[in-house]
Amino acid sequence: MLKSLALALAATFALAAPSYADTKWQQNHPRREQVNSRLANQNARVNNGVKNGTLTKGQAAQLHREDHAIRQQERADAAAHGGHITKGEQRQLNREENHVSRQIYREKH
């Protein structure tokens, strides 16, 4: 079950991985791109934490669930505004990502 959840999340975040050449979508949705890039980065950090033993699989699963909820909120916010998110929504999503990021860091030490 955890493997399938991890694979599904990895696939979701892989689609959101940033590239160095901005695509048309990235140019048109810079706030969403920033949020999604952070989520992809946090996903990699969690996976690395499991690999190096600083996070248990249970801790990783919880962190992935929290990031997934943030991603779902980002999608819902965008759906409500014709594919874009507002500055306020971006700030809120970033605050939520900061909370998860601190948990990743805290679990490592």
Mean pLDDT across 52-81: 95
Q: Of 74, 98, 55, which Cα lies nearest the Cα of 16?
A: 74
Here the tokens at position 16 are 């959101």
Tell me the pLDDT band of 29, cut-offs 50, 70 and 90: confident
Please choose, from the candidates 68, 74, 73, the residue with its C-alpha nearest in 3D space to the C-alpha of residue 100: 68
**Under 8 Å between Cβ of 107 and 49:** yes
Q: pTM of the predicted model, to two decimals?
A: 0.74
Could you count the other beta carbons within 10 Å of the beta carbon of residue 71? Answer: 20
Mean pLDDT along residues 7-21:
53
Hunting for tokens 């940033």 — which residue is that?
Answer: 18
- Closest listed residue to residue 78, CA positions, set 43, 44, 29, 38: 29
